[in-house]
Amino acid sequence: MKKLIVIFAMLFSTASYTLDVEQSPNIEKYINQMVTEHGFDKQKLTQEFISISFNPEVINKVIKMDERKIWYDYPKTVLTKERIDAGIKFWQQYQTELSNAEKKYGVPPEIIVAIIGIASDYGKRLQNYPIFQSLATLAFDKSELPAHIIYYFKRELTVFLLRTKKQGIDPLTLKGTYAGAYGLANFMPNSLHKFSIDFNKDGNKELMQPADAIGSIAYYLAWRGWQKNGPIIIPATVTGSAYKELPVNQFKFDLRAGNLKKYGISTEQPLPNYIKISLIKIDLDNKILYWIAFHNFLALYQYNPHIHYAMAVFQLAQALKKGGSTVTPVAP
C-alpha cells in the first residue's frame, strides 16, 4: 500500500525532484555506457544529469496525452477557424517551399501545412520544456511507466545526447515539447537524426525554420511510402457481421477493394478492385464509424502513431485545401 501511495504521489505531483546519480544505479549504468560506447566525458555528462531535476509533470502529460482522447474532442481544438485561417496564411507565405516539396517528394501542401498546424500552430504555440530534462525524466522514471515507453524514451535520450555532442550544442539549452520533440514539426530526436534536411540550403538543418520543417516533413512521409496523388481515407458503410472477420485498425492491407462487398462493406466512392485497403474503426460517444484507409493514411499514422492524430491531419488538410470552407468533422 505504501508503495502504491508513493507511485501515485509521483505521478500526480507537479513538483520536480532533484536527481541523485549515486542513488540512481540505472542512470549511473547509462552514463558509463555512454562513456564506453560513445566516448562521452564521464564527469561532464554526470554533471549535466545532476544539474537537472526530474519533472513528474511530463509523465502526467504523456499518460494523458491528447492523442489518446476519443475523436469527438478533436474538432474543438483542431478544426477551429483560427487554426484554419492561420494555416491558409502559412500556405500563402511559404507557397514556393511547399510547391518545391511536393515536386520533390509528392506530398501535397495541405498535408504538410496541417501537420505543422497541429504540431505547433504555425510556431505560435511552441512549448518551452527543457528537452534533456523531459527525456531523462521519461527514460528513468521511478513511477513504473510501461517498459516499452521507458525503452522508447531512453533511445530518444541517447540520440539526443549524441546529436548535441556532435554539433557542439549544450544539451541543457534546447527547449521543446513535454515529450522531447523539437521544432515546428515536433520531430523527436531519432526523427531529427534520420529525416531532418537542409531544404533552404543555408548549411543548417533547423526545424525552427519553416523551409526546413516543410522539407523534412515531406521527406519523412515519402520515406514512409507516401504515394503521390494517392487516396488517404474514405468513409464506409458496414452491414451484417461478416466484416468482423477482418483485422481492424491494424494496417495489414491484405484486403482488396474488390472483396469489400463480400464482407458487407460499401463506399460511395467507387474503388478499383485491385487496390489494397485497411478497415478503420472509430468509436464515438454514441456510435461507431468505419473508414477505408489507404497506404497514405498509414504514412500519417506513422508520423504520430495514433489513429485520431492521423484523422486530425486529414480533416485539417481538407479544410485548408477548401480554402477555409467548413469541413464536417467525423463527430459532431
**Confidence class of residue 16 from pLDDT cuts 50, 70 and 90?**
low
What's the whole-number mean pLDDT along residues 1-15? 37
Q: Which of residues 66 and 99 earns the better pLDDT score? A: 99
**Confidence class of residue 5 from pLDDT cuts 50, 70 and 90?**
very low
Q: Which domains does the chain have, with CATH numbers?
A: 2-65+129-176 (1.10.8.350)
What's the whole-number mean pLDDT along residues 257-268? 95
> Measured between alpha carbons, how far is 179 from 319 in angstroms, rounded to an integer?
28
Could you report the per-residue pLDDT of 142-171, keeping only the tens digit for each?
666 788 889 999 999 999 999 999 999 999
Q: In this predicted structure, what is the pLDDT of residue 105?
A: 98
DSSP symbol at 64: T
> Measured between alpha carbons, how far is 291 from 295 in angstroms, rounded to an integer?
13
Q: Residue 96: which residues within 8 A CB-CB, separation 6 or more?
A: none
Q: What is this structure's pTM?
A: 0.87
> Measured between alpha carbons, how far is 262 from 250 in angstroms, rounded to an integer?
20
Backbone angles phi, psi at 280, to 5 degrees: -115, 135
> Measured between alpha carbons, how far is 295 from 192 in angstroms, rounded to an integer?
23
Could you report the per-residue pLDDT of 178-203, keeping only the tens digit for each?
999 999 999 999 999 999 999 999 99
Q: In this predicted structure, what is the pLDDT of residue 28?
A: 92
| pLDDT of 93 higher than 60 | yes
| pLDDT of 323 higher than 50 | yes
